[in-house]
Amino acid sequence: MEQTPREARGSTERPGEEDRRKRRSRRGFASMDPSMQRRIASLGGRAAHARGTAHEFTSEEARRAGQKGGRRAAERRRETGTQGT
């Protein structure tokens, strides 16, 4: 008797479990169209600013973040031996 693919893998899943996982993968923010994600994130950002709970970088924080990114980019170039990205 020939085994089904699930039996061949030795899966202990219940029948239909794989189908449910496939359906579930289309849920949530990450599965949305990128333009829809941007719209929703923009609304959240606007709401946070309106409530006064949004983080705003000081010039010092922005400077440190830029330096950190620059150091990491330089390290990556040294590691890979490439310029640019």
Q: Give the integer Cα–Cα distance in Å for 20 and 14.
A: 11
Q: Tell me how many degrees the CA angle 37-42-43 measures, rounded to the nearest 5.
A: 105
Average confidence (pLDDT) over 17-45 = 82
Q: Which of 1-5, 45-49, 54-58, 76-80 has the weakest average pLDDT?
A: 1-5
Average confidence (pLDDT) over 30-37 = 92
Q: Give the integer Cα–Cα distance in Å for 12 and 18.
A: 11
What is the per-residue pLDDT for 29?
Answer: 85
Q: Give the confidence band of 55 by pLDDT, cuts at 50, 70, 90.
A: confident
Task: Give the global pTM.
Answer: 0.41
Q: Give the confidence band of 57 by pLDDT, cuts at 50, 70, 90.
A: confident
